[in-house]
Chain A
Amino acid sequence: MRTLILVTVCAGVLALSGMSEAAQISSAPIFGGHFQSRAECVILNFGTRPVAATVKILNDNGQTAATSSCDGSLEAGEFCSVVAAVTSQNPLASIHNMNSYSCVATAPSTGTLRGALVIYEEVYDSDWDIYNLQPMRSAPLQ
């Protein structure tokens, strides 16, 4: 009986630990609009130990538009970002004005990671005669 109780306890503890340490956090797919021109995904390690993390921006077909390994390790308190922007040179690595995008961060443990995907458009500033990046939408990684 004691063995059974101990096994049950261990299973319960392991289950609770596992629930808070999934290997992946992901955003919902978001579409900024037909003028979207840039997607940026940022993650933060708010823990006290380094985490080896990878961040990817994916299109509707699950293809990778941009990826980063965060220089191999994301130190405590450190941020890491990856950007996909409109480009004609590499369409797969470009964001398209008819596609939605999502972001995925993978790590051995994501319990101390937070992340967000932001989509931008370029807005014309007539006063200065230039285009500026302005956020259109964002989604958290969960």
Chain B
Amino acid sequence: MKTYVAGTVSAVLLGLASLAQAGQLVSPPLPTHPFRTNTSSEGLCRIRNTGTTPVKVTVSMSSNNGMVHLFDNCQGDGGPRTLAAGQSCSVMKQLPDDSFVACKVTAPDVTKLRGTLEVDHNFNTNVAVDLE
């Protein structure tokens, strides 16, 4: 009985611990202050699978105003793409003025995923943050 209880306890604790690590990585939000002149502002989210096994990723960017889709190779055939070991993908959107942007990746296991969100002006990176 004691062994059974101890086993159950360990399973619960391990389950809780893994719940806290798996599922999603989210970037800190970044403000999108464009130049006031004729320049564009883009958000680029890059995700890399640093592990040795493939991971299916769903990458999304969010803002408090509308974004214009520019590029997305984190999808394949209209669905989430599976990143092979060492492979990267990225999503790029044109950003709204005076707003905010963030990036999120969800996967069955995110422990081997790394990501970064960049805010560019005229496709030159001004500021970047890592997904956590």
B97 to chain A, nearest CB (A): 12
> Considering only CB atoms, which chain B residue lies closest to A43 in the complex?
B29
> Considering only CB atoms, which chain B residue lies closest to A119 in the complex?
B127
> Considering only CB atoms, which chain B residue lies closest to A27 in the complex?
B28
A43 to B12, CA, bound (A): 32
Taking CB atoms, residues of chain A closer than 8 Å to B29 are 42-44, 79, 114-116
Q: A44-B102, A125-B35, A125-B37 are in contact. Are A116 and B28 (CB under 8 A)?
A: yes
Taking CB atoms, residues of chain B closer than 8 Å to A125 are 35, 37
- Taking a contact as CB atoms under 8 Å apart, the answer to whether B20 and A79 are in contact is no
- Taking a contact as CB atoms under 8 Å apart, the answer to whether B62 and A118 are in contact is no
- Taking a contact as CB atoms under 8 Å apart, the answer to whether A114 and B132 are in contact is yes
- Taking a contact as CB atoms under 8 Å apart, the answer to whether A5 and B2 are in contact is yes
Q: Is the interface of A mostly helix, strand, loop or mixed?
A: strand
| A: number of interface residues (CB 8 Å) | 38
Choose among A8, A16, A140 the residue that contacts B132 (Cβ–Cβ < 8 A): A140
The 8 A CB mask of B14-40 against A (1 = contact, 0 = none) is 001100100000111111010111100
Determine whether B13 belongs to the interface, using a CB cutoff of 8 Å to chain A: yes
Determine whether B89 belongs to the interface, using a CB cutoff of 8 Å to chain A: no
Q: Pick the interface stretch among A60-68, A93-101, A127-135.
A: A127-135
B8 to chain A, nearest CB (A): 9
CB-contacts of A110-126 with B (<8 A): 114-116, 118, 120, 125
Q: A127-B37, A140-B130 are in contact. Are A42 and B30 (CB under 8 A)?
A: yes
> Considering only CB atoms, which chain B residue lies closest to A114 in the complex?
B28
A141 to B35, CA, bound (A): 25
- Taking a contact as CB atoms under 8 Å apart, the answer to whether A135 and B16 are in contact is no
A33 to B5, CA, bound (A): 59
B44 to chain A, nearest CB (A): 14
Q: Give me 14 A-to-B residue pairs in the complex whose CB atoms sit less than 8 angstroms apart, sorted by A's number.
A: A2-B2, A9-B9, A44-B100, A46-B102, A78-B64, A114-B26, A116-B28, A116-B29, A118-B127, A134-B35, A134-B121, A135-B33, A135-B119, A138-B129
Known pairs A5-B9, A118-B127 / 11 extra A-B pairs, C-beta < 8 Å: A9-B13, A12-B13, A13-B12, A17-B16, A42-B29, A42-B31, A81-B100, A114-B132, A125-B37, A127-B37, A140-B130
